[in-house]
Structure 1
C-alpha cells in the first residue's frame, strides 16, 4: 500500500481517455496540508501490515502454549478469517453513517488492543475466541482505511491506491523481520504487548492528522458515487448497475487473492518437494516473490497514470498467469524463480485497483463487498490447492492460479466495457 511518493501541486497526468475507470484529470491538485493526510493514511496501511505480521511470526510459540494439534490450530486460525468476513458489510454501513476517517481510527485502535490477546490464551477455545476478535479488527480496518483512501484519491485526482498497498506490504516485511529478530529476546506476551502499545501511539498520531479535515473537498464529486438515483440504480437496457460491477470487481479481487494465498502457503513447498532445493533457497524464492510484489505496488501509481487502471489490471493478470505457468511446470530452478517474480509483479496492483474502483462505484459498501470477496479468495485458495494437489500433484494444482489470474484480467476488461457503456448512455441522456 509508494512510501516516498510526494504529493505536489502540479496538474496530474491525464490517464488514457479510453479508460472511463481512470481518475479524472479535471480534479483539483492536492490542497495545502494534504501531504500530511497521505502520510497518515500510509501510516495506517503500514501499521496494519506490521501488526498482522507481528502476530503471524509468533504463531508457533502460541501453538505450543495452548497445546494445539495442527488440526485444532487450523480451526483456530480460521477464526481470523471468519471474524474479518463477518464485520466487513456492517463496517461499510458504519462508514456511511459516521464517516470513513472516524471508522478507520476506531477500527485501528480496536485492532491494536486485540493483537495482544492471543498471547494471553491458554486453550484452543480461548485462542479461537480472541482470534475472532482480532480478525474482526483486521477486517474493520481494511474496509475503513481503503474507503478513506478512496476518498483521498477522489480529492487529489491521482491513482495512489497501489502506493498505499505498497506501504502495507512493506509494513508486513518489516513486521516479520522485527518479530523474528526479537523472538529470542521477548516472549509472545511481551512482544505482542509492545506491538499493542506502539500501535496505539501511532494510531493516536495518525488519527489526529486524519480527523482534522475532510478527505474529499465539497467541490470534488465522484460521478460514479454522486450520480442521481435513477443512474445509480439497477442496470437498464442491458447496462449493468453498480452492484453488478462491484461484484465483478470482487471477482477480480478474489482471483488475485487466491493467487497470493496459494503462493504464500504452497510456493516454498513446491520448491522443496518438486524442485528438491534446500529450505533456505525456497525461502529466498518466496522473498523474491514478495519483493517483486512490493516493487510493483511502489511503481503502480505511475503505471496507472500512464496506462489507466484497466490496462494495468488486465496486463497484470496475463503476466501473473504466464509467470505461474512457468513457475508450476518448469523443471529448472532459475525459470521457476523467474516465474515467481512475474507472478509477484503481475498480481501486485490488481487487488488495490479493484478495491479502489469498487469504492468509486459504490463508496464504502463497494469497498466492503469487494474486500469480502477478495478475502474469501485468500481463505479458499490454500485448501483448494491442497485438495487439487492430493489428486493431481502440486505443479498441476498451481496451474489453477494461472487460470484465475486470466479470469481476473477478463473480469477487469468486462467492468471497463460495461462502464464505458454506462458513460456513453449517460452522455446521450
Structure 2
C-alpha cells in the first residue's frame, strides 16, 4: 500500500494538483493569450479612429492650410512604413510579445501629442512618432497572431482583423459623440488613459505564456537551438512568395483607402446624395468588411484560403463596378456592401500566409506593401478624378481587386496552402 501511495503521489506531481492534466491550464493560458491579443487589435483600430475624427480640430488649432495639413499627415505614413521592416527584425531578435507590448504602450502615449502642437511642422514631427508606433504595432500584432494561429491550428486571422475593424467603428462613433463635448486635447488624453489600461491588462497574459513552437528571442527555436521555430524558413526561397502576397494585400488595401476618402464625395457630387446619406457610404463598407471578417475563419476552414482569396477579389471587383457605375444611391451603397464583404479577408489571409512563410520579416514585408496600398489609393484616385472623372477613378478599385484575384489563382499552388 505505501508503494501504491508513492505511485499516486508521483502521478499527481507530474500532471498537476490532484492528478489533473496540465492540458487544462495550458488551454486556459492560451485562451487568455488570445483574448489579450484580440484586445490589442481592437485597441489599435480604436486609437487610430479616435485620432482621425479629431483631425479637423487639430487643423484649426495649428492654422494649417489644406495642402500643409496634407504634408503633415504624411508623417503618419512615413513613420509607419519606415518602422515596419525594423519591427520585423526586432521581433526576430527580442521576441514578438515584448515588441508588441512596447508598441502597445507607445501608441496610446503618442496619440495624445498632435493636439499639443501649435504649427504644421510640429504636427508633422509628432505624427512621425505616432506613425512609427502604429506601424510597429501592426507588424508585432500580426507576427504574434501568426504564431498563435499555429498553436491553435485554426485560421483565426480574420477574427483578429475583425476586432481591429470593430475597434475602429467604436473609436469613430465615440469620437463623433465627444467632438462637441470635449476639446481634442482632452478627448485624446482620455484615449491615452484607456489605451494604457488595456495594454497593462494585456501584458501579463502575453508575457507569462510561451506559445508552443514560438520563436524565442535571438531567433532560437523552442528547444533553445539557433534558428527559427518549426520548419526552416529560408529567406531566398520565401522572398518571392512574400512579395506576391504583399502585392495582393496592396491591391485590396488600395480599395479600402480609396473608399475611406472618396466614397462620400462620389455620393454627393456624382449622385446628388445629401451629406447625411453620403456619410453612410464608408460606414456601410466598413460594416460589411467587419461582418466579412467575423465569418472569415469559418470560410477559410470550409473553403481554404486560396478559394477565399480568389472569390473575395471577384466579389470585390463586381461590387465596385456596381458602386462606381450604378445610377442610384441605393445601388451604389449595395455595391459598397459587396465590396466590403469581398475585400474583408484578403488582407488578413495574405499577411498571415506571409508570416507562415517568413516569420516576422514576412509580416513586415507584406504589411509594408499593404499599407502602401492604403496610402496610394486616395492619392491616385484624386489625380485620376482630375484627369478623367471620379467614377472612372473608382473603377481602378475594381481593376485591382480583379488583379488580386487573378494573381492568387495563378500562384495558388506555390504561395497558398491547399484547402
Which position in structure 1 is the counterpart of 2:231? 227
> Whole-Å Cα distance in 2 between the matches of residues 59 and 409 of structure 1?
35
Which position in structure 1 is the counterpart of 2:253? 257
Q: Are 1:155 and 1:220, in contact at CA under 8 Å, matched by a contact in 2?
A: no
Task: Tell whether 2:122 aligns with 1:126.
Answer: yes
> Whole-Å Cα distance in 2 between the matches of residues 302 and 52 of structure 1?
28
Q: Structure 2 unaligned segments of length 5 or more: list them.
A: 1-25, 215-220
Normalised TM-score (structure 1): 0.86
Which position in structure 1 is the counterpart of 2:294? 298
Change in 2 beyond 3 A, CA 1:381/1:275: same
- Shift in Å at residue 320 of structure 1? 0.3
- Shift in Å at residue 108 of structure 1? 1.1
Which position in structure 2 is the counterpart of 1:206? 202
- Shift in Å at residue 286 of structure 1? 2.1
Task: Tell whether 2:112 aligns with 1:108.
Answer: no
Change in 2 beyond 3 A, CA 1:165/1:233: closer
Q: Are 2:290 and 2:344, in contact at CA under 8 Å, matched by a contact in 1?
A: yes
Which position in structure 2 is the counterpart of 1:278? 274
1:316-355 correspondence to structure 2 within 5 Å:
316-355=312-351
Normalised TM-score (structure 2): 0.88
Which position in structure 1 is the counterpart of 2:21? none
Q: Are 2:39 and 2:202, in contact at CA under 8 Å, matched by a contact in 1?
A: yes
- Shift in Å at residue 226 of structure 1? 3.7
- Shift in Å at residue 328 of structure 1? 0.5
Q: Are 1:45 and 1:164, in contact at CA under 8 Å, matched by a contact in 2?
A: yes
Q: Are 2:222 and 2:229, in contact at CA under 8 Å, matched by a contact in 1?
A: no
Task: Tell whether 2:49 aligns with 1:53.
Answer: yes
Which position in structure 1 is the counterpart of 2:177? 181
- Shift in Å at residue 332 of structure 1? 2.1
> Whole-Å Cα distance in 1 between the matches of residues 191 and 28 of structure 2?
33
Q: Are 2:213 and 2:229, in contact at CA under 8 Å, matched by a contact in 1?
A: no
Residue from 69, 88, 94 that aligns with 1:73: 69
Q: Structure 1 unaligned segments of length 5 or more: list them.
A: 1-29, 235-240, 424-429
Compare CA radii of gyration and give the structure with the larger one. Answer: 2
Change in 2 beyond 3 A, CA 1:228/1:194: closer
- Shift in Å at residue 202 of structure 1? 0.7
> Whole-Å Cα distance in 1 between the matches of residues 383 and 293 of structure 2?
31
> Whole-Å Cα distance in 2 between the matches of residues 419 and 138 of structure 1?
28
Greater RCO, 1 or 2 (C-alpha within 8 Å, sep 6+)? 1
> Whole-Å Cα distance in 2 between the matches of residues 63 and 285 of structure 1?
24
1:135-214 correspondence to structure 2 within 5 Å:
135-214=131-210
Change in 2 beyond 3 A, CA 1:165/1:228: closer
Which position in structure 2 is the counterpart of 1:312? 308
> Whole-Å Cα distance in 2 between the matches of residues 191 and 202 of structure 1?
17
1:383-422 correspondence to structure 2 within 5 Å:
383-419=379-415
> Whole-Å Cα distance in 1 between the matches of residues 415 and 373 of structure 2?
24
> Whole-Å Cα distance in 1 between the matches of residues 411 and 166 of structure 2?
30
